[in-house]
């Protein structure tokens, strides 16, 4: 590949990944594992105190890529999921417990702090000698034969850009791709906490009138919390002292895990859903939140991002085996088509669940209760839903199936 503008600072590679959040780092590692000459354009991300519940397929992919060993000591298994209707409404759903053993798994997945996940990924990228430029990309421009990425101190010329630059994506704008975006009247307060009683590897989701209140195990007697509230309540909780907030969260958790004490690092996130009109165009493929943002309900966001990364790496690896152009329109069209059903099905499921909690409309509350009742009682339906939640039939790239890219 010829360098971009011939300047002394120019770099060239086959593929550039722009963005060093978890999705971008995994894409760069998967591409490198496939023998691709990859350039990572990624400033070191700010500390992210959120956690990610990595579902079984994502854990398999990280294992195959050689990253899981460094993640495992920081991750807690999720063996059981408990859903409690805490809406205090007339029509309430029964409490439901799901065990991973029902679908032949030790755990539905593992919960890990994003700080530890990103550190393990960044260390592995370095170990693989992935070239990394640690300043932001300033501009991205595609033409018939490649893409030129303008950097702080030069340019890079590549055949394909993987845009992993988050919800306000420069890559998406450069590809001329618009989005479909909607804000919910809710905000998520996130934090990690210690508690007196063991969580027994059980994630507990209280369904409240303002949205889910979800405690997810971390190693030891610690859990992460995603508490979805209206904006004013979230701001009021976020402004509390540690002691006040610990007591308030224990009250909301009905003292299920005993006395609680919150740790530093609170996050406040406005809930939105956003989907790019296309996931790839003009030699630019979008992954992670550059392609789709879903509300933090049901641990879907980054798991989708990992499947994006695995899919794009697989398509690039296949194109190289056939000596084809890794930025060709056919490859981009296959990527877009391959990801759409998975992304849209998660978006719709999360949206339906969230709306059914917010509504005051009695028949919808009844439907939610009835659905959970049926899922609880009908074994095959229950197992099919659990399998679909953890290993979606619509999208199982090779890495998620335990095969190399």
Ligand X SMILES: Cc1cc2nc3c(=O)[nH]c(=O)nc-3n(C[C@H](O)[C@H](O)[C@H](O)COP(=O)(O)OP(=O)(O)OC[C@H]3O[C@@H](n4cnc5c(N)ncnc54)[C@H](O)[C@@H]3O)c2cc1C
Q: Which residues bind ligand X (CB under 6 A)?
A: 18-24, 41-43, 45, 50, 52-53, 136-137, 164-166, 170, 188, 190, 226, 269, 288-289, 296, 299-303, 305
Q: Is the dihedral of CA 60, 74, 307, 123 positive or negative?
A: negative
Our CB check for ligand X shows the closer of 37 and 48 to be 48
Our CB check for ligand X shows the closer of 71 and 188 to be 188
CB 317 within 8 A of CB 30: no
> Can you tell me which residue has the tokens 């007697």?
221
Our CB check for ligand X shows the closer of 54 and 319 to be 54
* Structure tokens that stand for 58 in this block: 């994502």
3-state secondary structure of 129: coil
Cα-Cα end-to-end distance for the chain: 23
Q: How many residues does the chain have?
A: 405
CB of residue 350 to ligand X, shortest distance in Å = 11
> Can you tell me which residue has the tokens 């755990």?
107
Our CB check for ligand X shows the closer of 226 and 245 to be 226
Our CB check for ligand X shows the closer of 46 and 322 to be 46
CB of residue 287 to ligand X, shortest distance in Å = 7
CB of residue 207 to ligand X, shortest distance in Å = 17
Q: Compute the distance between CA of residue 67 and CA of residue 60 in angstroms, rounded to an integer.
A: 10
CB 149 within 8 A of CB 16: yes
CB of residue 238 to ligand X, shortest distance in Å = 13
What values do phi and psi take at 88, rounded to 5?
55, 30
Instruction: Give the pairing of strands 109-113 and 51-55.
Output: antiparallel
* Structure tokens that stand for 225 in this block: 């919390």
Our CB check for ligand X shows the closer of 273 and 319 to be 273
Instruction: Name the burial class of residue 194, with classes exposed (0-12), middle (13-18) and buried (19+) by CB atoms within 10 angstroms of its CB.
Output: middle
3-state secondary structure of 198: coil
- What one-character DSSP code corresponds to residue 93? P
Tell me the Cα Rg of the chain.
22
Our CB check for ligand X shows the closer of 238 and 364 to be 238
- Which residues 6+ apart lie within 8 Å of 28 measured at CB? 17, 38, 40, 125, 130, 162
CB of residue 2 to ligand X, shortest distance in Å = 23
CB of residue 321 to ligand X, shortest distance in Å = 27
Our CB check for ligand X shows the closer of 21 and 217 to be 21
From the list 310, 4, 54, 7, the residue with the least C-alpha distance to 159 is: 4
CB of residue 157 to ligand X, shortest distance in Å = 16
Our CB check for ligand X shows the closer of 164 and 317 to be 164
Our CB check for ligand X shows the closer of 51 and 365 to be 51
Phi/psi zone of residue 184: left (φ > 0), alpha (ψ -120 to 50 degrees), beta?
beta
CB of residue 63 to ligand X, shortest distance in Å = 17
CB of residue 216 to ligand X, shortest distance in Å = 7
DSSP 256-297: TT-SEEEPS--EEEEEEEEEES-SEETTEEE-GGGTEE--SS
CB of residue 101 to ligand X, shortest distance in Å = 22
């Amino acid at each position: 590949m010829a360098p971009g503008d011939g300047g002394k600072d120019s770099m060239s590679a086959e593929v550039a990944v722009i963005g060093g959040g978890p999705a971008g780092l995994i894409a760069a590692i998967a591409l490198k594992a496939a023998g691709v000459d990859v350039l990572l354009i990624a400033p070191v991300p700010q500390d992210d105190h959120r956690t990610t519940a990595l579902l079984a397929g994502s854990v398999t992919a990280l294992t195959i890529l050689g990253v899981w060993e460094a993640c495992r000591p920081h991750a807690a298994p999720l063996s059981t999921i408990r859903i409690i209707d805490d809406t205090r409404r007339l029509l309430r759903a029964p409490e439901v417990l799901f065990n991973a053993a029902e679908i032949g798994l030790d755990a539905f997945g593992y919960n890990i702090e994003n700080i530890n996940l990103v550190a393990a990924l960044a260390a592995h990228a370095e170990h693989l000698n992935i070239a990394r430029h640690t300043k932001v990309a300033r501009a991205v421009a595609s033409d018939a034969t490649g893409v030129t990425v303008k950097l702080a101190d030069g340019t890079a010329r590549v055949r394909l850009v993987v845009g992993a630059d988050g919800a306000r994506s420069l890559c998406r704008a450069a590809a001329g791709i618009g989005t479909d975006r909607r804000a919910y009247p809710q905000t998520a307060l996130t934090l990690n906490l210690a508690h007196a009683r063991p969580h027994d590897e059980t994630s507990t989701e209280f369904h409240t009138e303002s949205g889910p209140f979800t405690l997810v195990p971390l190693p030891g007697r610690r859990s992460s919390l995603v508490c979805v509230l209206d904006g004013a309540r979230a701001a009021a909780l976020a402004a509390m002292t540690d002691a006040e907030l610990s007591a308030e969260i224990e009250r909301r958790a009905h003292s299920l895990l005993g006395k609680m004490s919150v740790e530093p690092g609170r996050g406040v996130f406005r809930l939105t859903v956003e989907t790019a009109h296309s996931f790839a165009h003009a030699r630019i493929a979008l992954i992670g939140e550059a392609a789709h943002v879903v509300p933090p309900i049901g641990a879907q966001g980054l798991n989708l991002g990992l499947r994006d990364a695995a899919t794009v790496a697989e398509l690039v690896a296949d194109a190289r085996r056939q000596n084809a152009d890794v930025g060709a329109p056919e490859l981009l069209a296959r990527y877009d088509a391959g990801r759409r059903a998975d992304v849209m099905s998660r978006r719709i499921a999360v949206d339906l669940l969230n709306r059914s909690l917010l509504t005051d409309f009695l028949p919808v509350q009844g439907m939610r209760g009835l659905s959970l009742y049926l899922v609880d009682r009908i074994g095959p339906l229950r197992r099919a839903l659990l399998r679909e939640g953890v290993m979606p039939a619509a999208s199982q790239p090779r890495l998620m199936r335990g095969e190399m890219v």
